[in-house]
Amino acid sequence: MSSKQPVTPLRPDPQGVRHLEFRALGTNCSIKFRLEDERAALNFAAAALTWLEHFEAKYSRYRPTSLISRINDAAGGDWTPVDPETEQMLTLAANLYQRTNGILDPTLLPLLRVWDWKTVHLKLPAKSEVKAALALTGWDKVQRRPGAVRLPQPGMGLDFGGFGKEYAVDHLTRIAHAHGITDALVDLGRDIFAMGGNGRHPFWHVGIEDGCHPGQCWGGLAISGQAVSSSGDYARHFTHDGVRYGHILDPRTGWPVANGMRAVTVVGPTCLEAGIFSTAVFVLGIRDGLHLASLARGVEVCAQTETGIEGTRSFGSYLVKAA
């Protein structure tokens, strides 16, 4: 996303909802919000896009000049200075790693390089490649001291993709509040937070994509004051010698998740909370995943496998008919 991206919210629809659509963090994004004053709406849109540009420029591993890229480039060498904001991001990464028992691991970049989606569907990586990359992962290897971080082994790398979008959704929600907005739906690539309602109802409607029939929804959610995050490999997978491979990796094995899961949808108090559990449940599977999620307050889960749909008891209270 460029800071020069035009800020042109559409005129409000009959319900007073403005639609801001853009690309950021490698995905299609939108913010729907209700704000009567045109200038105030433009100011909010500009503030949201400016913050996102700063965030992506600093933490995207795809940008060679980003701070994350500088940290990764220095792997096996010197310490990299970091500012207080990045200290907080690193502490958050450590906490998420601990809370998910290592499932959400921001050091998976070596494995992501081996499982490069542009090439793996043509030729699987060798087991030796996966094993070597796996040996470079594990948050416990990351060295930290006040104001600096170091990756001690050449080839190590950080990737905040496992929680970056969710973090950004929550921050954009705070920006909306600061601009006097009470009704908004922040959606960064299906990581969502819903504030207030859509002008017609005191909530927003969020569809649940069918992991076994991509492009279709098997149901929908009525959400207000909460987040929704989904994980699934239905959109990015391939078959090799009769074996199905998705894009979500299991950090314990270094190989794509192969437990029969197709999609996980989580409702939570923040997008970060919803996102970490949608990923963790997908990787861990029904039994262990739902158990881990049950330990978190205010988190409700729905998991779709090849054979059916299961979830926590209160997830059904959010369900409405599919749009």
Q: Among 49-58, 67-76, 301-310, which stretch is predicted with the lowest mean pLDDT?
A: 301-310
Q: What is the tens place of the pLDDT at every residue in 76-110?
A: 999 999 999 999 999 999 999 999 999 999 999 99
Q: What is the pLDDT of residue 214?
A: 81
pLDDT given at position 5: 58
Residue 2 confidence (pLDDT) above 60: no
Q: What is the pLDDT of residues 126-172, one digit of tens each?
A: 999 999 999 999 999 999 999 999 999 999 999 999 999 999 999 99
**pLDDT score recorded for residue 241:** 80
Which alpha helices (H) appear in 135-254, and where do they start and end?
164-178
**Over the stretch 262-281, which tens digit does the pLDDT of each residue have?**
999 999 999 999 999 999 99
Q: Do domains 27-53+163-320 and 77-152 have the same CATH topology?
A: no
Task: Check if the beta carbon of residue 168 is closer than 8 Å to that of residue 29.
Answer: no
User: Do the beta carbons of residue 153 and residue 136 sit within 8 Å?
Assistant: yes
pLDDT band at residue 323, thresholds of 50, 70 and 90? very low
Question: How many CB atoms are closer than 10 A to CB 43?
Answer: 14
pLDDT of 8: 59
| 68 token code pair | 């994350």
Q: Check pLDDT > 60 for residue 320.
A: yes
What's the whole-number mean pLDDT along residues 206-229? Answer: 91
Q: Which residues contact 95 (CB under 8 A, 6 or more apart)?
A: none
Question: Are 149 and 73 a contacting pair, CB within 8 Å?
Answer: no
The hierarchical CATH code for the domain 77-152 is 1.10.3980.10
What string of DSSP letters covers 158-188? --GGGTHHHHHHHHHHHHHHHTT--SEEEEE
Annotation: CATH topology of 27-53+163-320: T-fold (3.10.520)
Q: pLDDT tens across 24-52, in order?
A: 999 999 999 999 999 999 999 999 999 99
Q: What is the pLDDT of residue 313?
A: 86
The Cα 236–Cα 16 span in angstroms is 36
pLDDT surpasses 80 at 6? no
- pLDDT of residue 120 exceeding 90, the answer is no
- d(CA 171, CA 263) in angstroms, rounded, equals 26
Give the domain ranges of the chain: 27-53+163-320, 77-152
Q: What is the mean pLDDT of residues 249-264?
A: 94
Quickly state the pLDDT bin for 211 (edges 50, 70, 90).
confident
